[in-house]
Each structure stands twice: as structure tokens, then as C-alpha cells.
């Protein structure tokens, strides 16, 4: 089960940066956005289709354009290899009766980069198992 800690976030960053499709769809994707997994929050910095940095040290030095926040249980369903109905997509999760995902901030940036954003979120399902993730150094 994904724990959405720094190990997991780094592993996701590696998966996204190694993905050939993301290099294509994300060529013009440059943004800083916030991901909230329950109480845990990170700012993800993407520069021209490359995840440059993920940090959990949030301050005025880490501004973000838009935010996606959802309960941890919703992201756990979203990241399953075969996500269940109502949890396979951020718009599905935004349903108030289901995933309760909140979108905040400058959502225009989200709409402008939606394909690249959703492409990288879908890669969350490819994050390796816990043992492999823990072997890696923490960068967050």
C-alpha cells in the first residue's frame, strides 16, 4: 500500500522522469503545484517535462499555482493497479460523494497542462513495491 511518504514521492518522481511518453506530452509543462495526501503536502516542481524537485518544506519560498488535495484513502484507491470506479481519475475523485478531491488555486494552469498532469499522476500506479522504494535515498 502506498504511504505517500518521501521515499514513495521520490520513487514516483523517478518513474515520471524515466517515462518516454511524459517527455512528449510534458514538453511545455512548467509549473509548481501542490499535492495533498491527507495531512501530507508536497510541492512538485516541473520544468519542461521534467520533475525537478519535490519538497515537503512548504514556505513562502515554495509558491504553487494550483493544488490537488484529497484524503489519503482516496489516493490509495487512485494508485491501485486497477483503480475502482469513481477513483480512477482526478475528475472522478473530485466528486463530493466519492473521492472528495479539492482543486484550489489557479486552475487555469491545471487546464492548460491537463494531459501532462494526468499522465504523470497515472504513473503513480507504476511506483515499485515498498522494498525497492526504501533502497533509494530520500531526496524530499
Partner 1 sequence: MTAVREPVTGGYVYVPYAGHEYRVFYEEAGEGIPLVCLHTAGTDSREWRHQLNDSDINGNFRVIALDLPRHGKSIPPIGFEKEDYRLTGKFYSEFVMAFCEALELDRPVIMGSSMGGNICLHLALNFEEKVRALIAIEACEYSPGWYISWLAHPHVHGGEACATSVFGLMAPQSPDEYRWETWWYYSQGGPGVFKGDLYFYSVDHDFRGLSEKITGNVPIYLMTGVYDFACTPEMTAETGKKIKGSETIIMEDIGHFPMCENPETFKRFLMPVLEKIQAGAREPVGAGAGS
Chain positions contacting partner 1, by CB under 8 A = 82-83, 85-86, 88-92, 95, 98, 107-108, 111-112, 114-115, 118
Q: How far is the CB of 81 from partner 1 (least distance, A)?
A: 9
Q: Which CB, 114 or 140, lies closer to partner 1?
A: 114
Cα–Cα distance for residue pair 74/26, rounded to 1 Å: 25
Q: How far is the CB of 10 from partner 1 (least distance, A)?
A: 25
Q: Which CB, 104 or 135, lies closer to partner 1?
A: 104
Cα–Cα distance for residue pair 126/111, rounded to 1 Å: 24
Q: How far is the CB of 36 from partner 1 (least distance, A)?
A: 19
Rounded to a whole number, what is the distance in angstroms from the first to the last CA of the chain?
20
Q: Which CB, 20 or 59, lies closer to partner 1?
A: 20
Q: How far is the CB of 35 from partner 1 (least distance, A)?
A: 17
Q: What are phi and psi of 46, to 5 degrees?
A: -110, 135
Amino acid at each position: 500500500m502506498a504511504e505517500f511518504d518521501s521515499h514513495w514521492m521520490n520513487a514516483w518522481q523517478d518513474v515520471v522522469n524515466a517515462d518516454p511518453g511524459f517527455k512528449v506530452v510534458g514538453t511545455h509543462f512548467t509549473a509548481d503545484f501542490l499535492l495533498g495526501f491527507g495531512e501530507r503536502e508536497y510541492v512538485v516542481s516541473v520544468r519542461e517535462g521534467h520533475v525537478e524537485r519535490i519538497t515537503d518544506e512548504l514556505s513562502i519560498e515554495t509558491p504553487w499555482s494550483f493544488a490537488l488535495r484529497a484524503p489519503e484513502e482516496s489516493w490509495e484507491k487512485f494508485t491501485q493497479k486497477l483503480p475502482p470506479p469513481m477513483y480512477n481519475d482526478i475528475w472522478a475523485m473530485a466528486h463530493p460523494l466519492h473521492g472528495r478531491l479539492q482543486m484550489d488555486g489557479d486552475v487555469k494552469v491545471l487546464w492548460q497542462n491537463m494531459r501532462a498532469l494526468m499522465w504523470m499522476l497515472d504513473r503513480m500506479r507504476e511506483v515499485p513495491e515498498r522494498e525497492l522504494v526504501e533502497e533509494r535515498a530520500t531526496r524530499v
